[in-house]
Chain A
């Protein structure tokens, strides 16, 4: 790359990051939230990426060292004190000089590069984490400052035994979080000895998260599972191995560097800039805000209805129109605030997939696509667990061991793809593997053994039928119980979780070729496009996520096949479900229309009395009273101010 072309851009942008870096470092001492540290870390990281892109190796190296030290603070290896901050600020100054040298004076920049090369050579020969031989480092101009930095880093890495650090976050709304933490501690202690714990006594000193130290060779997957089994666990993360060789620490970072370089530093740079312009808002407040705006939208629609009845009031029409536009804009903004890129959750998966693969002896090329697709934060958080489940299942039950793949003439490395995309008003997430596919024979045998299916010969089972069997509670085809996917408990939980979110699961599988699970989710929990239908005098809302179309029932469209009612629609025959019957309501009117619901290949027509219209609705989830019909996913207020139940069409399918 020609540095000259980007010099100005590089310089101006780097200066912003240097400012952010200095700001972050200066605020380190009083940094309770960790934001300052994160900010400084990101700034150093971004400068490194940009500089490496332009071949300013010396700048990149200095930035990398700074990043390493900030990481040491982050993982608790180095304590923040005044002296350390002074050191870091000095390092930031050195970085700034290096930037100027690299850009301003070509020769100096080149000299820096040469020097850096010499140093690399020296380091490669060097021994041990603590800096080891200093011989080759003594000739450069930066020798002094460098030596000091080297020692600092060495000091940080030396003292403790290497350990694996696990961070466990308990859901903030979980009651008695401290006691929950004790449960986590007890569970993980069965997997590996706990060397150290912070806080030492969570029952007394609880702040929402727990850090546990284990021997480096402890089984991460088993630890995570044990921690999660304690319940109410929001997050489990493994932090860099503490006190290991420096190579280990930088491998983690190194991986990320490569990404930054490959994908282009400028885009990676953006978040840092924006971060400084962000404020933190409690999620609850955000929910209140979006609820409030949603109510406002409903009220506005009501106002519009009323205004329609008042003909001839001067200016009213115009006013209502302006009101609507304002509320619409507001709604759009608030909705935008709830949206986060799926990458925030997806990026946690590669590591977990790798670990699962290692444990099960699989070789996997895991690819993530569509990181940038946005989804309501509340949905994204809850969909993480089901997705992880699908990924683990794919590694465990889908992908074959390398030897078996070779025999079948497949490449030894299995392919696993996680892809998000946007389809109309839904987000679609696919988990696709090129493994052995679902064995129909085994599913049927297993379903029979579990009493889920009559013993008579089964007809042609479609993928949807298979999925329905597989997602019965307790279903499993795994002949051995594996560490990773347990006893097959799960697909039912996955399906239930998705349904609670207004989503659905679909599956396509081809024996020997692979399986694709497709998760379809509404964009947001807050607002949905819905069809209003009338049944026995009551109006219900049906979210459009799973509605293919709606039709008026004409003569000859309804018939019977094998004693069951069906709808014939343009040559297609599908089961007809009378919602009057399902909802056990009686009342005036008769069924004159049908809504065609679709999940995967399964389609069914839901007969209703009348199609009323289409609306944007604000769904309020409710905890259904025990014994309530399981067809409702929430309630909403209609434009006329009357409440209506929200029907979940997938529950009827």
Chain B
């Protein structure tokens, strides 16, 4: 069965890149969100197997979105998308319940490794 993914990022470019990597690997990208608030709403609606969450987004950032989602769905599998230099924010996201993280620029192999770990 295909695994479902929700991609949250305010940049279309990043959503496309990540979407392509995941689709090539056989995932079903069931939704995309551009803001943290949208991410929370879409998670509720789609209940995907996996979420990729950008840290910096307008209208509720990624970390707050993680908190919201985890509050309602403690088992949600969320991977943070970060950039170099965002270590403190990534740590905060992990403490909020994110399962793993990937770092831009995305390397397909590393992305898929993280996904595999999280879906275990």
Residues of A within 8 A of B (CB): 175-176, 178-179, 182-183, 186, 203, 229-231, 489, 623, 626-627
Contact = CB atoms under 8 A, between A and B. Distances in A.
Contact of A183 (B20, B86, B100, B107): B100
A176 B92 CA distance: 13
B43 interface: no
B90 interface: yes
A500 B69 CA distance: 38
Contact of B108 (A231, A489, A626): A626
Contacts of A230: 100, 117
A332 to B, nearest CB: 33
A179 B91 contact: yes
B117 A231 contact: yes
Given A176-B82, A176-B101, A182-B94, A623 B87 contact: no
Given A179-B94, A183-B94, A229-B120, A203 B88 contact: yes
Nearest to B109: A623
Nearest to B89: A179
Given A179-B94, A626-B24, A231 B114 contact: yes
B120 A182 contact: no
> B-side binding surface: helix, strand, loop or mixed?
helix
B103 interface: yes
Contacts of A175: 84, 103
B109 A176 contact: no
A413 to B, nearest CB: 33
A623 B120 CA distance: 24
Contact of B101 (A179, A186, A229, A627): A179
Interface of B: 20-21, 24, 82, 84, 86-88, 90-91, 94-95, 100-101, 103, 107-109, 113-114, 117, 120
Contacts of B91: 178-179, 182, 203
B52 to A, nearest CB: 15
A627 B24 contact: yes
20 contacts: A175-B84, A176-B84, A176-B90, A178-B91, A179-B87, A179-B90, A179-B94, A179-B101, A182-B91, A182-B94, A183-B101, A203-B87, A229-B117, A231-B100, A231-B114, A231-B117, A489-B120, A626-B20, A626-B21, A627-B24
A337 B24 CA distance: 39
Contacts of A178: 87, 91
Q: Which 9 A-B pairs give the minimum distances between C-beta atoms?
A: A175-B103, A179-B90, A203-B91, A626-B24, A182-B91, A176-B87, A231-B117, A179-B87, A179-B91
Nearest to A487: B120
Contacts of B109: 623
Nearest to B25: A626
B20 to A, nearest CB: 7
Contacts of B94: 179, 182-183, 186
A106 B80 CA distance: 71
A17 B92 CA distance: 50
Given A178-B91, A229-B117, A626-B20, 13 more contacts: A176-B82, A176-B90, A176-B101, A176-B103, A178-B87, A179-B94, A182-B94, A182-B95, A183-B94, A186-B94, A230-B117, A231-B117, A626-B24
Contacts of B103: 175-176
A203 to B, nearest CB: 4
A183 B108 CA distance: 21
B48 to A, nearest CB: 20
A489 B90 CA distance: 28
Contacts of A203: 87-88, 91
A231 B80 CA distance: 14
A231 to B, nearest CB: 5
Nearest to B98: A183
Contacts of B95: 182, 186
A195 to B, nearest CB: 20
Contacts of A179: 82, 87, 90-91, 94, 101
Nearest to A185: B94
Contacts of B24: 626-627
A229 B100 CA distance: 10
A176 B86 contact: yes
A162 B71 CA distance: 38
A614 to B, nearest CB: 32
A178 B91 CA distance: 8
Nearest to A228: B117
B117 to A, nearest CB: 5
A39 B109 CA distance: 39
A360 B7 CA distance: 41
Nearest to B97: A186
Contacts of A229: 117, 120
A175 B111 CA distance: 12
A231 B87 contact: no
A17 B65 CA distance: 61
B113 A231 contact: yes
Q: Which residue among B84, B94, B109, B114 has the maximum number of chain A CB atoms within 10 Å of its CB?
A: B94
Contacts of A623: 107-109
A627 B120 CA distance: 25
Contacts of B86: 176
Contacts of A231: 100, 113-114, 117
A229 B77 CA distance: 14
Contacts of A176: 82, 84, 86-87, 90, 101, 103
A230 to B, nearest CB: 8
A342 to B, nearest CB: 25
Contacts of B120: 229, 489
A183 B24 CA distance: 27
A631 B87 CA distance: 38
Nearest to B108: A626
A262 B67 CA distance: 59
A11 to B, nearest CB: 55
A176 B95 CA distance: 15
Contacts of B90: 176, 179, 182
Nearest to A493: B116
Contacts of B87: 176, 178-179, 203
Nearest to A202: B91
A230 B98 CA distance: 12
Contacts of B108: 623, 626
Nearest to B86: A176
A627 B107 CA distance: 15
A331 B58 CA distance: 56
B7 to A, nearest CB: 17
Contacts of B114: 231
Contacts of A627: 24
A626 B108 CA distance: 9
Contacts of A182: 90-91, 94-95
A602 B103 CA distance: 41
Nearest to A203: B91
A623 B108 CA distance: 9
A176 B90 CA distance: 9
A348 to B, nearest CB: 22
A148 B101 CA distance: 52
